[in-house]
Structure 1
Amino acid sequence: MLELMEWLAERGVTTVFKVDGDRMTEHRKAWMVIVSGGPLGEDSFFRTDLGTAESCLDSLLAHLEGKGLSPFA
């Protein structure tokens, strides 16, 4: 995830990847990822709250692919 965040930052995308301890102890969706800006556009704010870090990463990669921005291209 850190490599992806750095790759996005180099392209002007702001990224937040977080785990919430209170949510974790309450067995709620504790992981969150937010991306915005850069080549994603001014109106492109993406946020997802999910149960695992891996599911957040998968969701983020799918979003980026849909915007034509993929680290694997």
Structure 2
Amino acid sequence: MTKVWGRWPKADLDSGVEDATLLILEWLGEQGVGAMIRVDAERMREGRPAWTFAAQGGPFPEGMRADGASVAECMGRALLRPREAGLVVPF
């Protein structure tokens, strides 16, 4: 985060989102779902949601994608789709 954007990072060291995200990705892989999360610097510069979660396999043969302005928002949106498909993520 830079002064140019007028934002300062707000670290919440107790949130655990990084640890939970990695556990979710690993669990999805064990269920036969290939998944990834990424940040897009270009979208971040443009002020658009820069985080993307993508998954394919299992209940998502055609794939699925969720975007968010933060890791937490992105993963929150991403976890709705597996739940709707009957795949309850245990985190």
The AA in structure 2 aligned to 1:42 is P
Cross-structure match for 2:79 = 61
* Larger RCO: 1 or 2 (CA < 8 Å, sep 6+): 1
Larger Rg: 2
Cross-structure match for 1:46 = 64
Cross-structure match for 2:88 = 70
Percentage of pairs with the same residue: 32
Cross-structure match for 1:4 = 24
TM-score, normalised to structure 1's length?
0.84
Where does the alignment leave 5 or more consecutive residues of structure 2 unmatched?
1-20
**C-alpha RMSD of the superposition:** 1.6
Deviation string 1:7-50 (CA, Å, 9 cap, x unpaired) is: 00011101020101121122111010111102x1423x111222
Where does the alignment leave 5 or more consecutive residues of structure 1 unmatched?
none
Runs ≥4 residues deviating over 6 A = none
Q: How many residues align?
A: 71
Question: Equivalent of 1:35, from 55, 58, 62?
Answer: 55
TM-score, normalised to structure 2's length?
0.69
